[in-house]
Amino acid sequence: MTKTVSLTFDDGLIKTAEKVLGLEIPATFYIVSGWVTGEIKIKDPFNVNIEHGKLDDWIGFHKAGLDIGSHSHTHIKNDYRLDLSLQFMKAHFSSPYSLSWPYGEAIDSNLFDSYKSGFIRPYNKINEINLASYNPKWDEISFQEIIDSLPDNYWLIFTFHGINEGWRPITEYFLKEIYNYCIESEIEVKTISKVVNEIHISNHNI
């Protein structure tokens, strides 16, 4: 593997998912499974004014090409109920199953195929795949410098929440800027699941 970049969005913000799908940018969205209740609109107890859509919306996004992962079952610190979250993922989405920890915690979970947490995303030790991660702070360093500094065989994951919404929002222009810079630099932009599948296939061929 050479340099690879993944773009991820936590909390499952529906308007952001619609925009990213419209831009045809490969991305992984992490939804909180315990917030999903049948046909009722998903309720976020922390951000009541943000729309998360319905389960059918996310199933539709998944069929249309967005990668969907779990942002735990409860989003309550130290009470994530990963068993329920995995049951939910298996019932509605295809593998591999990816987990994004809330609150920047780093906790191993053998239930999921891959997992990321806060500023450092630990990865199941599959082959010699190195992992760099970056939760952008725009006033500290530019994303171009971060991407350019990556050695070969590194996988860089950008973590966002929403476009003009959510925690530390980004703009649509900025997202397109990152994506276009990667393409111009001949760096592949892939979803978390695509990278994980490629690693699994590589392992089987050893």
Would you state the pLDDT for residue 199?
76
Q: Which domain holds residue 66?
A: 4-204
Q: How confident is the model over 61-90, as a mean pLDDT?
A: 94
Q: How many domains does the chain have?
A: 1
- Position 103 scores a pLDDT of 81
Chain mean pLDDT for the chain = 83
Question: What's the pLDDT at 123?
Answer: 40
Peptide bond into 169 cis (omega under 30): no
**Contact status, residue 115 vs residue 196, Cβ threshold 8 Å:** no
CATH number, domain of 166, equals: 3.20.20.370
